[in-house]
Amino acid sequence: MKIADIRATTVTVPLEAPLLHASGAHWGRFVRTIVEVETDNGLVGLGEMGGGGESAELAFDGLKSYLIGHDPFELEALRFKIMNPTASLYNNRAQLHAAIEFGCLDLMGQELGVPVHTLLGGRLRDRVPFASYLFFRYANAETGEPEIRTADQLVEHARRLKEEHGFTSHKLKGGVYPPEYELGCYRALAGAFPEDTLRFDPNASFSVEEGIRFGLAIEDLKNDYYEDPTWGLNGMRRVREKVKMPLSTNTVVIDFEQLASNILNPAADVILLDTTFWGGIRPCVKAAGVCETFQLGVAVHSSGELGIQLATMLHLGAVLPNLSFSADAHYHHLQDDIIDGGMFEYEGGSIKVPDGPGLGVSLDRNKLDEYAQLYKELGGYPYDRDPGYPGRYALVPKQRFADPHKAIAPPIPTGQK
């Protein structure tokens, strides 16, 4: 079995409502590039990569000369073809490699008639638990989804997700409003769900001093961990020295060199393994083994997945003996998916691990075509800067709120969709 063709198709899939992100960015839809790796015996393996658009499609097209004729079972040779470490200055291709590796593992499973988790050593759990992953957001008149900008709105949204999906851990994406305001909202969550665990992620938007102050103010809560309060290994170390709870990261430990540095001089206690950022499922399994050796926690990170990447996250979560926490997923914010049979379903806050051959998912060609056309119509999105925000925190007065339920709600910029 040899690779005969590689096809990349960029799609955009709408979200229930536009999600506010750190430092003024926002998403109203996810842009993903779907990869099909076809072999000379007619099998097709599936991969997925975040964003990219036309540039991603061109990049995958450029890899064909390296990969046509390659045996999908030869994954270490594949890694060197795409991510040659001796040429790393000129060859930063982790996310491209991840999508191709997904496809090759899918092909291997189909060829052998076994799920990917079997190829990875066998599953230890049939279902992977997930956190609710909460965002401040704009309203969406088309879907009827309300805005979320106050503590009461946030708690009500979390309660609805808990009732619908069964989540018992709640993650709040911060870095949108001033730390003092988000602190009130986070504490309101803790008060509303005292039996559940929490995690807070400002996406490294805090200064070290802000990160320390916020961490000290939530130490008494039932936290899973405090994710990426500030940027850089040294900044994280400074926060970790002062705050008495586990720190986690998916921004400053995403390769083995960074992992080694973190072990020698700890900056994070929990490593969030992202099947895209780390360059594939197998690198995540290897990293989890290192973390097990050095007694670091691990969890599965989300980077805005559709069903193909979610399947990779499920297979990864199934095989990790040291999976310490529920996984992240943006998945419940999507309106639709491009996989056959409809969207994965949550039950009791978890999703069943696919047990079909390979990744256990296949493409819905009509959905792929529909959302590829939507991408052509809408293009990318203003990920890095929401034009409604003139600057981070600019629209909210910097004052400390004793009671978040009585706080003045931050305004939503006008002209947003």
Per-residue pLDDT of the chain (417 residues; tens, 9 = 90+): 999 999 999 999 999 999 998 766 678 899 999 999 999 999 999 999 987 778 899 999 999 998 999 999 999 999 989 987 665 555 568 999 999 999 999 999 999 999 999 999 999 999 999 999 999 999 999 999 999 999 999 999 999 999 999 999 999 999 999 999 999 999 999 999 999 999 999 999 999 999 999 999 999 999 999 999 999 999 999 999 999 999 999 999 999 999 999 999 999 999 999 999 999 999 999 999 999 999 999 999 999 999 999 999 999 999 999 999 999 999 999 999 999 999 999 999 999 999 999 999 999 999 999 999 999 999 886 554 444 444 444 343 333 434 545 555 565 544 443
Confidence at residue 21, expressed as pLDDT on a 0 to 100 scale: 84
Domain with CATH 3.30.390.10 in the chain: 3-114
The Cα angle at residue 45 between residues 325 and 282, in degrees rounded to 5: 40
Residue type, 93: R
Domain with CATH 3.20.20.120 in the chain: 118-359
Provide the total of helices (H) and of strands (E) in the chain, helices listed first: 12, 13
**Architecture of 118-359 per CATH?**
Alpha-Beta Barrel (3.20)
- Pairing status of strand 169-173 against strand 3-20: unpaired
The Cα angle at residue 398 between residues 395 and 400, in degrees rounded to 5: 135
Angle between helices 75-83 and 54-67 (to 10 degrees): 120
Residue 251, token pair as written in the block: 């921004």
Which of these, 73, 94, 75, lies nearest to 83 by C-alpha position?
94
For tokens 């083994």, the residue is: 289
Give the DSSP letter of residue 326.
P
- Pairing status of strand 169-173 against strand 134-135: parallel
Which residue spans within 335-376 are E strands per DSSP?
A: 346-347, 350-352
Confidence at residue 286, expressed as pLDDT on a 0 to 100 scale: 98
Residue 324, token pair as written in the block: 């310490």
**Architecture of 3-114 per CATH?**
2-Layer Sandwich (3.30)
Which of these, 53, 75, 57, lies nearest to 3 by C-alpha position?
75
The residues annotated as belonging to the active site are: 173, 301
Which residue spans within 234-323 are E strands per DSSP?
A: 247-249, 270-273, 297-300
Residue 267, token pair as written in the block: 């900056």
Record the pTM.
0.92
- Pairing status of strand 26-39 against strand 44-50: antiparallel
